[in-house]
Amino acid sequence: MSTATLSPAPASAPGRASGDDTRIGLRANLRHLGALTRRNLMRIKADPESMLDALLVPVIMILLFVYVFGGAMATNQHEYMQYMVPGLLGTTGLNLAMALGTGLNTDFQTGVMDRFRTLPIGRSAVLLSKMIAETLRALVAFAVLIGFALLLGLEVKGGPLNLLAAVGLSLVFGASLMWVSMLLGMALRSAQAVQGMAMIVMMPLQFGSSIFANPATMPGWLQAFTKHNPLSALADACRALINGGAVGNSVVTVLIWSAAITVVTAPLAVARFRKRT
């Protein structure tokens, strides 16, 4: 009788098992998403200094721009506050979205993603949980921004529903930029490089827009850039909603930009994440 040698079938790599979302049910994916979101929020609780940008930057921006530049930019500081503060909703969302890439890069550098690779969790839950936690941080920042501005005399002439619409529109645009931020966080080698690239992206978008100044006062070549800058559309939409003016096509423009950015960058970010994990 001949003996046959039986070799055990090779075990699938932990990273493949954990990263195959199609083999994990919807309920399990939602459970993983909730657990990872809670983990991200617990990290914020353990490191409250990470909330300083969300809590202090809106206050500093209002104080600097309204009371330092307000008299030169408008007839009086109150008029400039009504113009500038709605635009700050967009720039606050941009700043927080870009910070997400730095945190993701740090997770790769410190081995957190190596740990996730060995766990039977859907990879999509890792990215989505970070977006949810960052969205909650953005809501806190918006609350601080609006609350402080109201204390200083901001008038919400459009009513509370329009104010909520402005916040929601800012969140939608900020969520699209989170994909850009995560893509940068995975494409660049260090957190410092991510921060530097984020500044290169943010500075022209912020100051080459209608957030801080009327584009009519700018030179022609800059007006052309400002006209097609999505932050200008967002600032104009929020300004019209809060001040009770005509919204026009600005809301639709912001939604189109948000959808386009997401459609282009989300698949690239997911593909990059799968490649690295």
Kindly state the average pLDDT of the residues 143-155. Answer: 94
- Which of 247, 249, 252, 259 has the alpha carbon at shortest distance from 86? 247
pLDDT digits (tens, 9 = 90+) for 68-79: 888 888 888 889
Per-residue pLDDT at 181 exceeds 90? yes
* Statement: residue 263 has pLDDT above 80: yes
Lowest mean pLDDT among 1-10, 74-83, 86-95, 112-121: 1-10
Separation of alpha carbons 160 and 163, rounded Å: 5
Residue spans per domain, the chain: 16-276
At which residue do the structure tokens 């399990």 appear? 28
Span of 4-13, 72-81, 115-124, 145-154 with lowest mean pLDDT: 4-13
User: Residue 29: pLDDT band by 50, 70, 90 thresholds?
Assistant: confident
pTM confidence score:
0.84
Identify the pLDDT of residue 95.
85
Q: What percent of the chain has pLDDT over 90?
A: 45
pLDDT for the residue 20: 55
DSSP letter for each residue of 218-268? S-HHHHHHHHT-HHHHHHHHHHHHHHT---TTHHHHHHHHHHHHHHHHHHH
What letter does residue 111 receive in the DSSP assignment?
T
More confident residue, 65 or 53: 65
